[in-house]
Structure 1
Amino acid sequence: MQPLKIIAGDATNPQAKGPKVIAHICNDLGGWGKGFVLAISRRWPGPEREYRRWHRERAGNDFALGAVQVVEVRPDIRVANMVAQRGMKTGSGGPPIRYDALERCLHAVAEHALEHGASVHMPRIGCGLAGGKWERIEPIISRTLSARDIAVTVYDHA
């Protein structure tokens, strides 16, 4: 079991050697324009372009809650676009975060990380625009990643 590491910093500039996966949450509407995705897009155009294509072509692919798209941005860094947010606003169904979808996404990220010997890096996923509670998200990260001996670093923007 790897302990979850929480540090001050920028999740788009992961502090580790070797292969790295930057995991973040996307919505199921194809929207990309607020929150952490802006930091990703400032650094690399690929994840946004691929996410928008994935959503646009959803009739013929696996785009849905719980799905993950992994985009290589550098030979040692991949970005995991995780669809774990239903819509973009809090409404009668509660906040947009879908904890069950997040858990499915993180299982897929774990498989990818194990296959590539990668560490996983992320902001406090699900706690911003998605409206999630860290007390519910941290145990999901521990179960899906840390318990499988995958090094995870969470970045609190300094």
Structure 2
Amino acid sequence: MNLKKIGNIDDMITYIESGDIFKIDDVLNYAHGCNCSGAMGKGIAVQFKKKFPEMYKTYRNLCVEKKFNIGDVYIHNYGIGYVFNLGTQVSWRTNAELQAIEQSLEKMLLFASEHKIKKIALPKIGSGLGGLKWQDVKVVLEQVASQYSGITLFIVENFEDR
């Protein structure tokens, strides 16, 4: 994978220009932005749905029951790690919201800190299908991550299956 670290928060975020979040060495915890309507039909969400079918069933039920909302995190323990479903947009038809990204990241990183999780891989959430500018999302990611030393986020900016 093509690793590219940034300067001021070197230990907290590693940007990877291209790759697959599920193929990063020594990383067993994954996060992605989700809508709150229960749909995982496009983008990396399809990979999550296939790789973690039990997670998807519970996520879908939580959405149907209106128990997964924007800014929430649904945390799924799959046995050897966790999947963090970040409630970043209301539905697949709406754009992600920066405030929801911030809130869900805070909750994820607090859980990770409390459970001594050191590494989490995720795509560039909120942009792409989420509709936000990546530079705006990066600012939020960096601000939130800077409050949680000891946890490294591996952010794959472009999917590439190798």
TM-score range, shorter chain: 0.7 to 0.9
TM-score, normalising length: structure 2: 0.82
Displacement after TM superposition at 1:79 (Å): 0.6
Displacement after TM superposition at 1:10 (Å): 1.1
Q: What is the rounded CA distance, in whole Å, between the counterparts of 1:21 and 1:145 in structure 2?
A: 16
Matched with 1:154 is: 155
Q: What percentage of residue pairs aligned between the two structures are identical?
A: 26
TM-score, normalising length: structure 1: 0.84
Question: Aligned-residue CA RMSD in angstroms?
Answer: 1.7
Q: What is the rounded CA distance, in whole Å, between the counterparts of 1:39 and 1:3 in structure 2?
A: 25
- CA deviations on 1:95-123 (whole Å, 9 max, x unpaired) are x1111011000000111110122112101
Corresponding residue SS for 1:143:
helix
Corresponding residue SS for 1:12:
helix
Q: How many residues get paired?
A: 147
Aligned in 2, Cα 1:142/1:112: closer, same or farther, shift over 3 Å? Answer: same
Structure 2 residues without counterparts, runs of 5 or longer = 1-8
Corresponding residue SS for 2:40:
coil
Following TM superposition, the consecutive aligned residue runs of length 4 or more in structure 1 with deviations greater than 3 angstroms are none
Q: Is the 8 A contact 1:122 1:153 kept in 2?
A: yes
Matched with 1:87 is: 91
Among 57, 64, 67, the alignment partner of 2:69 is: 64
Displacement after TM superposition at 1:72 (Å): 1.3
- CA deviations on 1:76-101 (whole Å, 9 max, x unpaired) are x21111111132235xxxxx111101
Structure 1 residues without counterparts, runs of 5 or longer = 91-95
Aligned in 2, Cα 1:107/1:3: closer, same or farther, shift over 3 Å? Answer: closer
